Amino acid sequence: MRMKKLLTLLAVGLATLSWAQEMPIVHDPVVIKQDNTYHLFCTGRGISHFVSTDLKSWEKLDPVFKEKPIWTDEVVPDFKNYIWAPDVLQQNGTYYLFYSISAFGKNTSAIGLVTNTTLNPSDENYKWEDQGIIVQSVPDRDMWNAIDPNIIFDENGTPWMAFGSFWNGLKMVKLSTDLKSIAHPEEWQTIAKRERSFNLVDSDPGDAALEAPFIFKKGDYFYLFLSWDYCCRGENSTYKVVVGRSKSATGPFVDAQGKALNQGGGTLVIEGNKNWSGVGHNSAYSFDGKDYYFSHAYDAKNNGAPKLVVKEITWFDGWPTVEPMD
């Protein structure tokens, strides 16, 4: 029995190691399925693009932007084409890929949009066409940060963009019906916020760090996932994912204890451990009758490399749960 148990543990360990080795290095993954292929877009030079047919083995394709969008130097001088935190959706035969540019640690930022009629590079119609800026944040003018976009349609089919990090919280703004601009008259919401224990410093959010909103519709509720604490510090990253829900796409969102997310609430979904740190910047989708969680996590056994995390979501009393990190 002891030998059988040892062999079982060894098999589990090898499977975990294999999973860690196979998963690509990514930050901030979002996923969409076209035909039988999953397309993953994430932070990277020109926006990284991966494909898979099974959510396990991934192939890296050419980036979305071979050259940086022509408008980016106006927002971030001498921008290096390292584009952050995209969001992808399909609407009326067009694929919309929203993306972020920013100076690190500042709200010198903007969210742009690029579109395509197909995600298959072998298709003769494959061509990314940039649509320019959707929203921009400027230091000393805005107390919010124009990064980490996520698009959701409300109960009436109206599009909204959730976005933001740090500063005075995560925001939501109504979009025009073509998804290419902010709707007028403008409508804004603060959907999540954590109170600071000291005055704002431009490059240090202190104990109020939060970012990366993602809203997932399930049944009667819209679930707002977001990441607390710090990304991008390798093994020292402290990211974790929390969630709240609302029957309205624009909130207010509350956690399982009834505390509003715009008053510091949030129910824990997943966090790191000794093997994996900084689990966060997630997205969530339904594919073929199953609900999936995607994010990155830093692999302590691989010098803190950010690896893709894919887990099935299960639901308990109306709340999303995922298996802890191995």
Burial zone of 66 (CB within 10 Å; 0-12 exposed, 13-18 middle, 19+ buried): exposed
- The token duo for 163 is 């976005």
- CA neighbor of 127 nearest in space, from 85, 88, 95, 100: 95
Which of the residues 87, 130, 148, 211 is marked catalytic? 211
* Angstrom distance (rounded) from CA 205 to CA 80: 25
Query: What's the pLDDT band for 64 if we cut at 50, 70, 90?
Result: very high
* Angstrom distance (rounded) from CA 137 to CA 107: 6
Distance (Å) of CA 6 to CA 9, 15, 16, 20: 5, 14, 15, 21
* Angstrom distance (rounded) from CA 149 to CA 61: 23
Query: What's the pLDDT band for 4 if we cut at 50, 70, 90?
Result: very low
- CA neighbor of 133 nearest in space, from 47, 215, 73, 46: 73
Furthest CA-CA distance within the chain = 70
Residue 129 appears among annotated catalytic residues? no
Domains present along the chain, CATH in parentheses? 26-321 (2.115.10.20)
Q: What is the mean pLDDT of residues 106-130?
A: 96
Render pLDDT for 245-295 as a digit per residue (tens, 0 to 9). Answer: 999 999 999 999 999 999 999 999 999 999 998 999 999 999 999 999 999
Q: How many CA atoms lie within 13 A of 12 on its CB side?
A: 7
Q: How many CA atoms lie within 13 A of 154 on its CB side?
A: 17
Q: Is 16's pLDDT higher than 60?
A: no
Which of the residues 28, 87, 148, 271 is marked catalytic? 28
Q: Is 241's pLDDT higher than 80?
A: yes
The answer for 117, left when phi > 0, alpha when psi is -120 to 50, beta otherwise, is alpha
Sorted by sequence, the CB contacts under 8 Å of residue 13 that are 6+ apart come out as none
Q: What is the mean pLDDT of residues 17-21?
A: 45
pTM for the structure as a whole? 0.90
What is the average pLDDT score of the chain? 90
Residue 317, H or E segment: none
CA 313 to centroid of chain Cα atoms: 16
Reported residue count of the chain is 326
Distance (Å) of CA 15 to CA 29, 217, 324: 23, 32, 16
Residue 195 appears among annotated catalytic residues? no
Cis upstream peptide for 252 (omega within 30°)? yes
Q: Is 1's pLDDT higher than 70?
A: no
